[in-house]
Amino acid sequence: MTMVQMNVRIDAKLKNEVEEVLKGKGVSVSDVIRSLWLYIADRKEVPALETTAEEQAREEEKQRKLKLIREGAGYVHKELVKAGLISEDTDLMEGLTYKQFRDKMYDEQLDAYYNMKRAD
């Protein structure tokens, strides 16, 4: 097999940092590059790297959505407390699981429906 030499331009700080990691693992830069090229040749695709801009954007969007969920999770409770309708320690779920709470809500709606005064 004929071998070729490749020259790559890379930030010196990054190069040194990676070489230290690889040295600690007992792997050479050439080993890593050869492995990468073999991977691409075998699979005909570039491996998903954690540092790609697309993945970073996806992670940032995920974190943004999680933040909104955390902030919004107690919104109804906070507003009811602020309005003076309930106390701070009121448990709106009454210690029920979501399914139990949902079933109770449906039962109450059904009771209200059956007890409606109908206009004749």
* pLDDT tens by residue, 20-52: 999 999 999 999 999 999 999 999 998 877 667
Q: Give me the number of domains the chain comprises.
A: 2
- Residues 71 and 38 placed together within one structural domain of the fold: no
pLDDT mean values, one per 10 residues, the chain (120 residues): 90 94 95 94 86 81 88 83 90 80 89 76
| DSSP-assigned states of every residue in 50-107 | TT-HHHHHHHHHHHHHHHHHHHHTTHHHHHHHHTTSS-TT--TTTT--HHHHHHHHHH
Domain, as residue range, for 62? 53-114
- Residues 36 and 77 placed together within one structural domain of the fold: no
Tokens of 77: 């409770």
Q: Is residue 48 included in any domain, yes or no?
A: no
Q: Is residue 4 included in any domain, yes or no?
A: no
Q: What pLDDT score was predicted for residue 51?
A: 66
Distance CA 63, CA 69 (A): 10
- Residues 39 and 57 placed together within one structural domain of the fold: no
Q: Is residue 106 included in any domain, yes or no?
A: yes
- Residues 16 and 61 placed together within one structural domain of the fold: no
Q: What pLDDT score was predicted for residue 90?
A: 86
Q: What pLDDT score was predicted for residue 67?
A: 87
- Residues 73 and 110 placed together within one structural domain of the fold: yes
Q: What pLDDT score was predicted for residue 100?
A: 87
What are the angstrom distances between the C-alpha of 76 and each of 71, 92, 97, 117, 120? 11, 9, 18, 30, 38
Residues in CB range of 87: below 8 A, 6 or more apart: 81
